[in-house]
Amino acid sequence: MTNLPNILLEAGAQEAQGSIFGMIGPMILIFAVMYFLMIRPQRKRERLQREMRSQLEVGDEVITMGGIIGRVVSIRDDSLVIETGSDRSKIRITRGAVQQNTTVREEPSSPAK
Q: Can you tell me the distance from the alpha carbon of 95 to that of 99, in angstroms, rounded to the nearest whole number? A: 9
Q: List Cβ neighbours of 71 (8 Å cut-off, separation of 6 or more).
A: 59, 60, 61, 62, 82, 83
Asked whether 71 and 80 are in contact (CB, 8 A), the reply is: no
Same-domain status, 48 and 80: no
Give the pLDDT of the chain (113 residues) as one tens digit per residue: 555 566 555 655 555 556 777 788 889 999 999 999 999 999 999 999 999 999 999 999 999 999 999 999 999 989 999 999 888 899 999 999 999 999 887 766 656 55
**Is the domain of 38 the same as that of 85?**
no
What does DSSP assign to residue 93?
Answer: E
pLDDT of 23 = 83
Looking at the fold, whether 46 and 81 belong to one and the same domain comes out as no
Q: Are residues 2 and 17 in the same domain?
A: yes
Same domain, residue pair 5 and 37: yes
